[in-house]
Amino acid sequence: MSPPFPQLSPDQQSLLTERLLHWSLANGLTMYPPQFKTFSPVAAPMTLFPTPFPREAFLSALAVQETFNQLYINVVTNTPWLTTILESLSEFDPDFTGKLFSTYKAAVQIGIPQPVSMGLFRSDYMVHGAEIKQIEFNTVSVSFGGLSSKIAEAHSYLNNTGAYTADGKKYYDPKALPASESIEKLASGLADGHAAYNESQDTSTVVLVVVQPGERNVFDQRHIEYSLLKRGIKSVRMTLGEITTKTTVDAARKLYVNASGEEVSVVYFRSGYAPADYVNESTWEARLHLETSLAVKCPSLLTQLSGSKKIQQILTTREQIVQFLPDAPEAQLAQLLSTFVDIYPLDDTPRGQLAKKLAFEQSEHFVLKPQREGGGNNIYKENIPGFLRSLDEKEWAGYILMALISPPRYDNKIVRSDETFSEPIISELGVFGTAVFNEQTGEILTNKTAGWLLRSKFESSNEGGVAAGFGCVDSVVLY
């Protein structure tokens, strides 16, 4: 049985909210508000209480992460297989997937000097029955590893100081509120890439963080940067638009920051995952310039593209998984496979033909996804038939059709911009992973689980983007 939420009087609740907001502003559980013009942050949208989450499902999501990291690394390093799929996918999405892929091919022509690649990954799930079911596997620019550690700490602080009860006692067993060490562990993942770069030399190098102009979620990123700095690793922030004028690649293909002359060990992308990040041709050139430098990319273009929705769809069958994880014990395979729901192509294969029927006849059970990242791109339920009809049938193959997962709803409260909303919420668990690997030989240098994130949103909204205003950061109370 999931634990009930604390029942508080209006006065107690406003005191609790004040404590939560003070803690958030004092500890960097913050973002910039929409259209910000000053440096003043606001508290990130968040839940007042931790949300119940079945312990076994939580532990199994953490336990399967290294297998998922390995699966995607093996996909990337089986380059002929991956590039064949990306070649045909490019036809359906020439403007973005196609551009990323042609930039990769241009890089291959020039020569990719750095065989070592790395990922900060995040595998997202919702609870379905007693199990976790995967929403998607993200291979680029995964966010909220910074704020996740903070919100879990905030909820624990409120619990430990008795703010959830009228008599000042702890409402939850502290052991049911796990910490998320995602800040430390994501920084440690970047430090692994940095160490791999510096193995053959002892110069002092920096991490280049590629950011979006006007990013509201900067503090999430900064927590990871400050943690890196505690390990003695400095980071420098730059937008894609600034790369060509503010960095240089020398004859040995080493990447340098012009202003300081510092050499770059790792390029950490917190931008470059959506079409809007490439405002003009020079931003595509910037990506090529970075890809053909000696710096370790987090992620490389191929690693980023391995996270395409189409790849996720292809990887839902046992035959495919076995091909990529030939040495995995049966229990490990079964655990991985148990996280999948049905995902269909919308092409001329038999499964594709079936999906074309389902999309029209049972649309209420599905979500239609294009090859995009970052939220706000999907088509849900009854909107699917009309959307498909508006396209030429040839274009349908650029989409995947995924069975909807229906997680339990909870009566938590969301605190956003000084307002508290009481509406049923549903939650999505993200598990972070980090890996450093050799893209040419397939050798895996490090493969780690790196903490977790819970995001919640009103049950009534289809998408869960926190920065976009649909969702909020949350933490778990295990039961």
Residues taking part in catalysis: 122, 136, 138, 143, 309, 369, 373-374, 455
Binding residues for ATP: 136, 309, 369-378, 380, 402-405, 428, 457, 463
Q: Is 135 in the site for ligand ADP (CB under 6 A)?
A: yes
DSSP 37-48: -SS--EEPPEES
Task: Please state, as a whole number, how many other Cβ atoms lie within 10 Å of the Cβ of residue 440.
Answer: 13
Q: Which of 91, 143, 101, 93 is nearest to 370 (CA)?
A: 93
Answer for which of 93, 263, 373, 474 binds Mg ion (CB under 5 A) is 373
Q: What are phi and psi of 177, to 5 degrees?
A: -115, 85
- On the 0-12 / 13-18 / 19+ scale of CB atoms within 10 A, 226 is middle
Minimum CB distance to ligand ADP smaller for 177 or for 401 = 401
Q: Is 190 in the site for ligand ADP (CB under 6 A)?
A: no
Distance separating the N- and C-terminal Cα atoms of the chain: 7
Minimum CB distance to ligand ADP smaller for 12 or for 317 = 317
- Restricted to residues 408-467, the positions that interact with ligand ADP (CB under 6 A) are 428, 463-464
Q: Is 378 in the site for ligand ADP (CB under 6 A)?
A: yes
Binding residues for substrate: 122, 140-143, 215-217, 221, 270-273, 455, 466-467
Q: Is 321 in the site for ligand ADP (CB under 6 A)?
A: no
**Contact between 248 and 258 (Cβ < 8 Å):** yes
Query: In whole angstroms, how close is the CB of 410 to Mg ion at the nearest point?
Result: 20
Answer for which of 93, 136, 215, 291 binds ligand ADP (CB under 6 A) is 136
Query: In whole angstroms, how close is the CB of 207 to Mg ion at the nearest point?
Result: 23
Minimum CB distance to ligand ADP smaller for 85 or for 404 = 404
Residue that the structure tokens 């009103």 belong to: 458
Question: E strands along 250-334, which residues?
Answer: 255-257, 263-269, 296-298
Answer for which of 98, 374, 408, 469 binds ligand ADP (CB under 6 A) is 374
Q: Which of 100, 107, 462 is nearest to 273 (CA)?
A: 100
Minimum CB distance to Mg ion smaller for 289 or for 310 = 310
Q: Is 474 in the site for ligand ADP (CB under 6 A)?
A: no
- Restricted to residues 125-184, the positions that interact with Mg ion (CB under 5 A) are 136, 138
Task: Please state, as a whole number, how many other Cβ atoms lie within 10 Å of the Cβ of residue 261.
Answer: 8
